[in-house]
Amino acid sequence: MWRHRIKPRPDWERIVTEQGLVFPVTELPDGTKRPYWNESAWYEFTGDEVNTLEAATEELWAMCLDAAGHMAATMTDQRLGLPAGTMEVVQRSIGRQDPSLYSRFDLVYGADGTIKMLEINGDTPTGLVEAGVVQWRWLEDRLPELDQWNSVHERLVAGWQRLRTSGATTGNELHFFYDLGEGESYDDGEMEMTAHYLMDTAVQAGFATMAHPMAEVGWNPDAREFRDVNDYPVRNAFKLYAWEEMLGEAFGRHLVEQREARPVNWFEPAWKAMLSTKALLPVLWERNPGHPLLLPAYFDSPGDLENWVAKPLHGREGDNIRIHLADALEDLVMPGAYGTEGFVYQAYTELPVFDGNHVVLGSWVIDNEAAGMLVRESDGPVTDYYGRVCPHVISDALSPDDAQRLAWLAERVGPNAPSVR
């Protein structure tokens, strides 16, 4: 992995905004702005490196599904800091084998070629527009003769098609709900942007779609069903809204108490709550001790770790992360509102640093297949709200033609995909 500087395209902000990335720049606390989409640099990978990352992603995915099933069978709401009744909803979801669409790993790719899993966002991952659209269009403009590890868009469309034709949905209509946020919690439109991009891929897969904020979903007590903002019944729904929040609200109690006359088919499914909590990390380590893709992790205390990272069970965007290094004068503690639900402790590992930028790789799993990568940079060891994303290139692979891309997509979709049990 190498970092290269490059001159951004003229008028790049307009270009990426028109491609769907509605927040190309980030405003810092002092009021200044910096690019969120950082095309003043790109990252180079070889085909062998991508093959290694791809294999690691799929191995980790299988381990995560195993861990999720184990957690559902052995752990409690209280242990995981979840609303009462959550584990019953999760167990029912696993019992039905509810299908999922996508997840994103955060990986550390060391200079010695080692790969370590930092965590997985299995319930509400964002970054799809950047990964699936903007960086691919950048490649077409700047280095069109080369390739990129990126089948994000094609696999999303194919994943929706599989869900539509496999009996996982009721009818052909699909709602998209998102957390709009307001005040200090407003996310510059990230959730809405991501939901609308996913809606576009669902339309390409043949769904009739509708979208609105989660807060506008209603409940009809007579029909015992959820209704959208137009009082239309919700049968199938994608929600960019965390299960641990949803089930703690009056809205979610209808699900916990099984009050629906005809349950909604939710994407992502409820069992994904097991892949949304950092409690997954010590469970993975318990079930795969010493695995080279994992970092040691423990519940409640750092155990024998000298250098560690404390992570709140439900934390996001680096909030409330605490890094303790044995030779440091004081810990690095990030602000935030998480932590009352409990912490896990994970061994600290250094991120690779290029030109002062700390780098984490976002690795996508879509429809059970490794699907591509997004490179994220930060100023320090915690990837927070002020991180940036850069495009990447496979430098020793020429751009494939459409026939080759279709062949790759077909050959990697196999019958032996792992499942949660």
| Rounded Cα distance, 344 and 36, in Å | 29
* Token output for 226: 């959820």
Q: Cα separations (Å) of 171 from 116, 198, 200, 204, 265?
A: 41, 18, 18, 16, 11
Place of tokens 């239309």: 232
Q: Cα separations (Å) of 195 from 209, 210, 241?
A: 11, 10, 10
* pLDDT tens track for 168-186: 999 999 999 998 776 666 6
Task: Return the bridge partners of 361, or none.
Answer: 107, 375
The mean of the pLDDT values for the chain is 94
| Rounded Cα distance, 28 and 197, in Å | 26
Cβ contact 278:305 at 8 Å: no
Q: Cα separations (Å) of 199 from 77, 157, 183, 264?
A: 32, 10, 26, 17
Region 61-82: mean pLDDT is: 97
pLDDT at 419: 85
What is the model's pTM? 0.95
Region 337-349: mean pLDDT is: 91
Task: Return the bridge partners of 37, or none.
Answer: 389
Task: Return the bridge partners of 333, or none.
Answer: 322
Question: What 3-state class would DSSP assign to 259?
Answer: coil
Q: Cα separations (Å) of 295 from 96, 108, 285, 315, 350?
A: 32, 10, 7, 18, 12
- Reduce the secondary structure of 252-291 to three states and give it as a string: HHHHHCCCCCCCCEEECCHHHHHHCCCCHHHHHHHHCCCC
pLDDT at 189: 84
Region 200-217: mean pLDDT is: 95
| Rounded Cα distance, 65 and 85, in Å | 21
Q: Cα separations (Å) of 136 from 21, 117, 200, 375, 378?
A: 13, 25, 17, 13, 22
* pLDDT tens track for 382-414: 888 889 999 999 999 888 888 888 888 887 656
Region 301-308: mean pLDDT is: 96
Residue 367 corresponds to which amino acid? D
Largest Cα–Cα distance in the chain? 63
Tell me the H-state helices in 145-187.
152-165
187 contact partners, CB below 8 Å, separation of at least 6 = 179, 181
* pLDDT tens track for 347-396: 999 999 999 999 999 999 999 999 999 999 999 988 888 899 999 999 99
| Structure letter (DSSP) for residue 79 | H
Question: What 3-state class would DSSP assign to 229?
Answer: coil
Output 226 or 181, whichever has higher pLDDT.
226
| Rounded Cα distance, 369 and 249, in Å | 33
| Rounded Cα distance, 269 and 237, in Å | 10
CA angle centred on 69, ends 414 and 169, rounded to 5°? 60
Residue 358's CB is within 10 A of a number of other CB atoms, namely: 19
Cis amide leading into 268 (omega within 30): yes
Does residue 65 register a pLDDT over 90?
A: yes
Question: How does strand 208-213 pair with strand 173-178?
Answer: parallel
Q: Cα separations (Å) of 132 from 62, 138, 193?
A: 23, 11, 13
| Rounded Cα distance, 100 and 215, in Å | 23
